[in-house]
Structure formats: C-alpha cells, structure tokens
Chains A and B, each alone.
Chain A
Amino acid sequence: MPAWPAWIDVHFISLLNGLAIGALLFILAVGLSLIFGMMDVLNLAHGVLFLGGAYTAWWIAGESPSWPRFLAALAVAGAAGALAGTGLSLLVARLARRSHLDQALLTLGLTLIAADALSAAFGDDVHTINPPPGLDDSVSLLGRAYPVYRLALIGLGAVLATAVHFVVERTSLGALIRATVADRHMVASVGVDERRVKLGVFAVGALLATTAGVLGAPVYGARPGLDATALMLALVVVVIGGLGSVRGALIGALVIGEIESLGRAVLSDLASFVLFGALAVVLVLRPRGLFGASTGARS
C-alpha cells in the first residue's frame, strides 16, 4: 500500500463516490444556474425534469439495459427535455411583465402537475436500473472493488464540464450567453434577439437535466420524491457556486458531491447538518456564492 495518509485510505471509496455524485450534480445544476443567470427565472421544475429522465431510463431501457436501449433512453430523454424546456420558456415569457416570484411559482405549479403525472404513469414503487453491459462490473482500485459505472460518470462529467466551459468561454455563442447573463438589455439593444438566446439556453438547460436523470438512474434509481432531492441539491450547488457561473456550478457540484458522500460515510445520521453548514458558511462569507458575478446574480 502506498504511503497515503490513513484517513484518505479509509475513505478512498467515499472520495471517489463524491466525485461521481459531483459530476452528476454538475450536469444537473449548470442548466439551472445559466437559466437563472440569464433570465432571472428560478426553474423549480428542474428536479422533476431529472426525475423524468430517470423514469425514461427505466421505461425504455428497463432494469438491465442493453447499449442500444440505454443510448435510446438518453436520446429520448434529451429530446423530451429540450421540448419541455422550450415549452417552459414560452410559458414563463408570458409572465415577463410580472414579478420573478410569479414566474418561479408557475414552474412550481407545473412541477406538481408533472410529478403527479409521473407517479400516475410509473407507480409509487422504487425502480432500480443497472448500468449498461461493460460498465456493470467492478474494478479493483487500491485493493478495493469499485463500480466501473461511477468511474465512467466521473470521466463523462469531466468531458462535459470541459465542453460546456469551452462553449461558454471560448466561442462566440458563449460570448453571447455571457453577455446576456451580464446585461440582457444591452444585448437586445445591440440588435440580438435575446429571446432566442433565452429559449436556447432554457432548452439546453432542461436537456442537461433530463440527461442527468438518465445517467443518474443506475445510481439513484427512479422513485417519487427523487425530484425534490435533486432540486434541493441543485439549488445548494448553485447557491454555493454562484448564479450564472459555469465554473461556480462545477466547484459547487464537487463540494456538494463530497459532502453528500464523505459526510454520510463519516457522520451518517447528521450529514444534513454539514450540508446546511456549508451553505451557511459560504453565504456569510461570500453572499453571492464562490464565483457569483457581481452584476448577474441579484442579492
């Protein structure tokens, strides 16, 4: 055994789990963050989109999915997510002259309807979904067995984070997105139809949420109530990382992933205190989150 500190050795698996959860949370939360940063719309339907993705995985791919079925589930969930995001964006736009609270409440009402429809369609049972073949094994890491699927999640999360970062920071489309986050009226006044930018970001954000649901299905399964948990974790990630920031979403997701995983391993019953504590510390020291823009996010 190499000369690891004993603590890391004991909690090595939990640390890795934290990275996997963090990768999943990033995919979920980055859309929420960008939608809020760009439109000031708090999309409370984000959790139910995640749950919709998880049920899609179970419905199309079943308990032990083959690769084609798993990929089909990803495609269907992605398309449905993009469609739902477009619909949400259009509905919210109808309340554009009203308060942001009304817009958030609208997404909350739609969440209630969608969650009830999902539990009517799929029942109240807990559905478990296995990873696709090849990823359902374990590998030996430092003498411990570790599920390959979670390693794949970490890899995929890293790839997606790099891709989103590249698009937002290095392309002209990304410059448009960042400009809309910073000052959407200015973007509109230089002749860009900022409604289309918003529609696109809402659709992509929702697509990422349903995709995260499919990818998370082998870890979390699909069950009623998962939507509230997913929404809560995504909100905490976004609050800690700062609204409208891709880097913030990534760092926030990794921090919360480790807290969820390590906290439960070390403290079991009282891990929720740690989650609240992290939220409190960040908000007291940095009210706008770790990477919150001073202009984009409202206090």
Chain B
Amino acid sequence: MTWSRRRAALAPLVALAVLAAAPLVLGDYATAMLSRILAFALLAASLDLLVGVTGLPSLGHGAYFGAGAYAAGWVATHVARSAPVTLVAAAGVAALVALVAGSVAVRARGVFFLMLTLAVGEIVEQLAQSWHGVTGGSDGMYGIPATRLAGVALTDVRWFAWYALGVFAAGIAVLRCIAVSPLGATLRGIRDNEARMRALGYRTYHYKLAAFVIAGGIAGAAGSLLAAQQRLVTPGDLGLATSVPVLLAVIIGGEATLWGPCVGAAIVVVLRDVLGPSLGGHGPLLLGVVFVAVVFALPGGLAHVRSLWRGAAR
C-alpha cells in the first residue's frame, strides 16, 4: 500500500523530469510540438476543473484561452515583452472575461450549461472578428514580438519548451491544490448533488462562479503560451475550433483525473496537427470519428479503462 502511494507521489515528478529532458533529445519540430501540447494540456486540465470536478460541461472554453492569447499579444506589442507580465495580463483578462460570462452561464446546469457556454464562446469569437482596433479583426493579431524572460528573448525552441513546461507545471500545481483543498471537495459535492450542498448552506452559485473564473484564468495563462509561440492570434483560436478539441481531450482522457485530460490533449494535438495534415488536412474528420468512437465505446475515457484494468488485475 505504501509502495503504491509512494509511486503515486513519484509519478508526476518522473513525468516532469522526462518532459524536461525531452527537448535535449528531440529535434526542433518535435520540441515545438511538445510546447504546443503543453499549452493545450494546461487548457484541457483547466477545463477539467469545470467538467470533471464541478460537473459543468463547457463548450466555450476556447474563449478564455483566446482572450488570454489576445491579451498577452496586446501587452507584448504595446506595453512590455517580459514573460511574467504577459502571463499575468493573460490570466487576468481571461479571468475577467470568465467572470462576466460565468455570472450568466453558471446559472444553468448540464446540457443547458453546454448550450450557454457555446453561445457565449461564439459571441466572444464574433467580437474578436469585428473589434478591429484591438484584435486586428479576421486577419488576426500578427507580428507579436518575442516574449523575453530574464532579459533573453525566448526565440530558441528549447528554451521556449522549458518556459512552457514551467508554466504548465505551475498551472497543474494550482489545479492539483484546488482539487485536494476544501474548495475542491465543495465543488465535487456540487457536481454530485447540488441541491444537498445548497441545503447544507453552501452558496453554490458563488462556488461555481469561482471555479469558472479560476478555470478561465488558467486557460488564459495557457493562451499566453500560444501567443508567445505562434506570435499570431486569430479569431479561430477563440471559437469552436479550440473549444471542441479541448472538450474532446477531457472526454478521451477521463474526467476529474488531471493526468487523463493531459494525455487526452497530447492525443488530440497529435491527431489534429501531425496525422491530420498528412491525411490531406482532414484533422477535424479524424477528431470527429474519435469523438463518436469515444462516446459510444469508451464512456469514462482512458482513466476508466485504466481502473477497469486495475480491477481485473486484482
């Protein structure tokens, strides 16, 4: 028992060490892909706080990712290129957008919540399309200067991957702390039986809104990685083109496990950005097929398969 517990504590450290060593071994393309995966995995993990922990299935999470990316890009272009500044600005703006959207969306539950977050996400995308003065409209925001960390521009793919890993690890640590804290317990209680939590005296609306804002802020932090890596943000980064794959990543990986969505994110990015282009640009088709297959054949995602396998081994 102690061995398995020790192994559980060790696993994240081993994973972190492997990820930190990977840029030394991998080529430039694979290292850049690793950075993309890390940003997307952090986004998926933040969505899992809503979907898995709180039971709020959001189909508009790309809006906060994109809002963070735009904020980071705008700050880097007009104010300061320092990585901590862009990161904090991205998380702050995304959390603010999430506060406004969430104050409406968390009034609903279940499929109704899905519907509202989808609608609000698309409205945010429309705004990015039409607000030329700030976002650059449908052309996107381009020519974002390279982010600088400790006076050095993060233009080298390896250094950037390590920076992305640092942001990813910090974000995961925050999410992990929330999951094991009393706040996390309350959120799981709301997921399982909201009426009872309300009867126990919890103001569930405020807790759900808090979860929505935190998830939005971390999604924004992940968005700052996107802006720093691509140096280009387009309205597509806010809309369903992001929101659907990230929800798929959570579903594939298994909800409320934290590692599941990260693995799911890696699978989704590889399917979309590596296999998709080699199949003549049919990435969305591939994602759709996987989506349907997972919904039909794999309820509970990979995490569920793992627990079944463990149950059989016992």
Instruction: Identify the A interface with B (CB < 8 A).
Output: 36, 40, 42, 44, 94-95, 98, 100-102, 104-106, 108-117, 120, 228-229, 231-232, 235-236, 238-239, 268-273, 275-276, 279-280, 283-284, 287, 297-299
Contacts and interface: CB of A to CB of B under 8 A. Distances in A.
A5 to B, nearest CB: 28
A95 B295 contact: yes
B299 interface: yes
25 contacts: A100-B111, A104-B114, A109-B289, A109-B290, A113-B285, A116-B285, A228-B125, A229-B122, A232-B118, A232-B122, A238-B115, A239-B115, A269-B133, A270-B127, A270-B130, A270-B131, A272-B124, A275-B123, A276-B123, A279-B119, A279-B123, A280-B104, A283-B107, A283-B108, A298-B111
B309 interface: no
Contacts, number: 124
Interface of B: 57, 59, 101, 103-104, 107-112, 114-116, 118-120, 122-127, 130-133, 239-240, 244, 247, 251, 282, 284-285, 287-292, 295-296, 299
A228 B108 contact: no
A104 B122 contact: no
Contact of A112 (B118, B125, B285, B296): B285
A36 B115 CA distance: 11
A42 B117 CA distance: 13
Given A106-B292, A283-B104, A272 B115 contact: no
10 closest A-B pairs by beta carbon, nearest first, are A112-B288, A109-B291, A232-B122, A113-B288, A116-B285, A109-B292, A272-B127, A116-B284, A272-B126, A280-B104
B119 A100 contact: no
A202 to B, nearest CB: 16
A106 B288 contact: no
Interface SS of chain A: helix
A264 to B, nearest CB: 9
B164 to A, nearest CB: 27
A113 B289 CA distance: 7
Given A116-B285, A232-B122, A298-B110, 18 more contacts: A42-B111, A42-B115, A102-B299, A105-B295, A108-B244, A112-B284, A113-B288, A113-B292, A229-B126, A232-B123, A235-B119, A239-B115, A269-B132, A279-B123, A283-B104, A283-B108, A287-B107, A298-B112
Contacts of A232: 118-119, 122-123
A29 to B, nearest CB: 12
Contacts of A42: 111, 114-115
Contacts of B291: 105, 108-109, 112
Given A42-B114, A113-B289, A102 B295 contact: yes
Contacts of B130: 268-272
A299 B119 contact: no
B285 A235 contact: no
A40 B244 CA distance: 21
Interface core residue of B119, B130, B288 (most chain A CB under 10 Å): B119
Contacts of A231: 118, 122
A101 B57 contact: yes
Interface core residue of B118, B125, B291, B295 (most chain A CB under 10 Å): B295
A212 B115 CA distance: 21
Contact of A299 (B101, B109, B295): B109
Contacts of A40: 111
A94 to B, nearest CB: 8
B214 to A, nearest CB: 21
Nearest to B109: A299
A235 B108 CA distance: 14
B242 to A, nearest CB: 12
A228 B284 contact: no
Contacts of A36: 111
Contacts of A94: 296
Contacts of B124: 272
A280 B110 CA distance: 18
A238 B130 CA distance: 24
B288 A110 contact: yes
A111 B288 contact: yes
Nearest to B239: A228
A186 B287 CA distance: 39
Contact of A273 (B104, B127, B295): B127
Nearest to A109: B291
A235 B107 contact: no
Contacts of B289: 109, 113
Contacts of B132: 269
Interface core residue of A108, A110, A280, A287 (most chain B CB under 10 Å): A108
Contacts of A229: 122, 126
